Amino acid sequence: MRAAVGLAVLLAVGAALVSGGSRADSVRYRYSPETNVLRTVSVYGSERVVTVRSLGDAGLAEAQPRWLAAARPLGPGAPGWARQLYDRSLLILQALTDRRTGATIAGARDGWAYVWPRDAGTVALAFASAGYRGEARRIARFLLGLDLSAAARFHPDGSPVEGREAQGDASGWVAVATRVGGLKTPPERLPWRDRADYQEGDAGEHLGNAIAAGADLSPFVTGRGLVREAGDPGSGLDSVAAWAVRPFPQPQLFPAARSTLLRLAAQSTPYGIVPSESWGGGDDPWTAPTVWTAWSLAALGERRAALRLMAALRRAETPDGMLPERVDLRTGAPTSTTPLAWSHAFAILALRELWP
């Protein structure tokens, strides 16, 4: 399985792709392609902090210029950085997807080299949007072969990974992949209540699961917007409200989604946002919520807010243009899996919404 991403994938688009990354003056990076390790030197006054982080498997994935040339291009007004991010993201998704089976892993490292239905479903949607219907179809077929009730994640051979129970949005994302892959077989439908959501914490009645299931969202609506827990205004606004715009549109909820997303976007750090106001996993921004919020804001006509979030996403890139799962709030240095398929898939979708 060609599932490892190395520096060669990024260099295939040209050395000029080494753009973006942290803009903080106190941070310097050095990337080692031999070990896929990022060394970060941060200076805070007289204090110098050196951090060395593994970015996963250092194996190389062969670039295919002919394959990349077949992509549906962005619109003529797209700036250079957008085209670079678009091409780079397509190459990364290609490298993380088995070309024979359609199994798409979340990241090329231990603990992430598994198939999550929502991540893989988003990759199928991104491929289809970029014109790669065959790739989307293979991913959909793989997902349809999974026992979605068995686990939250799966090995690339389709067997369940123990340790996390099925999550409430899985069948909704498989339905998305099935639709864009042009397949007729409906996916298995799972209950969305009393299950964990994309934050992978406690089970409950979570907004993201309800949206993916096409459920009634009125219990999540408050005067401020859409909150994470049904009937609990104190649970805080959740960026996953974006999913009610794209890719699970509920037009009657667009005003509430708009209010939610604009409020969260206004709280953005220079490197993006955290998943929700109730997020308990620290202050480090996440690239996937940042870019899915940008995607849906663009779809709602809030272009200026969407572009601000895309600017934050660019600052969160590594010097070689990969999107980490999370980055340090102060420096923008990666703090988790890099690159993350989910983030690059949403980047493709946001770019196509901004420059169709």
Which residues are within 8 A (CB) of 110 and not within 5 positions of it... i.e. 6 or more apart?
A: none
Which residues are within 8 A (CB) of 60 and not within 5 positions of it... i.e. 6 or more apart?
A: 4, 6, 7, 8, 9
pTM of the model: 0.86
- pLDDT computed for residue 321 by the predictor: 82
What does the pLDDT look like over 9-54, one tens digit per residue? Answer: 332 322 222 223 333 334 555 545 455 566 666 666 677 777 666 6
Domains and CATH numbers, the chain: 7-354 (1.50.10.10)
- pLDDT computed for residue 232 by the predictor: 98
User: With 70 as the cut, is the pLDDT of residue 280 above it?
Assistant: yes
Number of Cβ within a 10 Å radius of residue 220: 29
User: With 60 as the cut, is the pLDDT of residue 223 above it?
Assistant: yes
Average pLDDT, the chain: 87
Read off the pLDDT of each residue in 138-167 and give the average, rounded to a whole number. Answer: 97
What does the pLDDT look like over 233-253, one tens digit per residue? Answer: 999 999 999 999 999 999 999
- What is the gyration radius of the CA atoms in the chain, in angstroms? 19
With vertex at residue 127, the alpha carbon angle to CA 97 and CA 71, rounded to the nearest 5 degrees, is 110
- Among candidates 137, 126, 134, 142, which has minimal Cα distance to 88? 126
- Among candidates 297, 289, 257, which has minimal Cα distance to 272? 289
Q: How far apart, in whole angstroms, are the C-alpha atoms of residue 58 and residue 146?
A: 29
State in Å, rounded, how far the first CA of the chain is from the last one: 32
- pLDDT computed for residue 63 by the predictor: 60
- pLDDT computed for residue 18 by the predictor: 27
CB 136 within 8 A of CB 129: no
